[in-house]
Amino acid sequence: MNEFIIKIAARTAATMIAFTIVGTALLAFTANSTKDIISKNVEQEKMALISQTLPHALFDNNLVQDAFILQPDDKLGNDEPTFAYPARLHGKTTAVVLEVIAPDGYSGKINLLVAILENGEVAGVRVVAHNETPGLGDYIDIAKSDWITHFDHTSLKKIPSQDWKVKKDGGHFDSMAGATITPRAVVKAVFKALQYFENNKNKLLAEQSNSAGA
């Protein structure tokens, strides 16, 4: 396990729990009340996970406070409203972090954060929650391996649509022998998230703080 993984592994579990708690709280209230319903400590934990997907030089805003709602969409895999987190620098949107669900993991849904730069390139992906088999499919978790970082700097322009698959299926992305269902689901979810971004780019990049979403 390399130094990068060790550095964040201990922080990841607690952050994931906080992320789930805050997500539930956010959905219970309007976006305009975000500042009132999130404690500073929990907000910081959620920001810590979101920040793993984006270089800090790309934003000077509080992405959690500026979150806006995304309605259910097949490209996002969400049956209920979820959230997008806009990264802004000097008032200009530089990227957006999408809550995405891969519905077809080996053991159920896999919740992801997919950060996409304004040019359509993936800045980072992180797993928020999953029930994949320990020691097998759980290598999608950054605390277990760096596999998830293979999405960094990818885009629909750099990788043709037909190659957004694991290598076992004739695609671009590696997978562990004997555990292809899990990465297959994640690859498809990231691909669809990029498609969603392209289809809704203007709205996502123009969203104002605390507004109802796309």
Same domain, 20 and 103: no
Distances (CA, A) of 131 to 3, 106, 111, 200: 25, 8, 10, 30
The length of the chain in residues reads 214
Nearest to 136 by CA among 105, 98, 113, 109: 105
Same domain, 147 and 96: yes
Nearest to 52 by CA among 83, 20, 22, 85: 85
Q: State residue 211's pLDDT score.
A: 45
In the chain, the number of structural domains is 2
Same domain, 73 and 168: yes
Same domain, 178 and 131: yes
Is there a domain that residue 152 lies in?
A: yes
Same domain, 125 and 201: yes
Percent of the chain residues topping a pLDDT of 70: 74
Same domain, 164 and 199: yes
Same domain, 17 and 71: no
Is there a domain that residue 49 lies in?
A: no
Whether pLDDT at 26 is above 80: no
Is there a domain that residue 190 lies in?
A: yes
Global pTM reads 0.79
Q: 21 lies in which domain range?
A: 1-29
Least confident of 6-10, 86-90, 159-163, 182-186: 6-10
Residues 24-38, mean pLDDT to the nearest whole number: 56
Is there a domain that residue 43 lies in?
A: no
Nearest to 165 by CA among 157, 155, 175: 175
Whether pLDDT at 31 is above 60: no
Q: State residue 168's pLDDT score.
A: 92
Same domain, 25 and 61: no
Same domain, 73 and 115: yes
Whether 99 and 189 have beta carbons less than 8 Å apart is answered as: no
Same domain, 173 and 96: yes
Q: What is the dihedral of CA 95, 99, 104, 110, to 10 degrees?
A: 110
State the DSSP code for 149.
G
Sheet holding 92-105, edge to edge: 68-70, 82-89, 92-105, 108-117, 122-129
Tell me, rounded to whole angstroms, the distance of Cα 72 from its chain centroid: 16
Q: State residue 209's pLDDT score.
A: 46
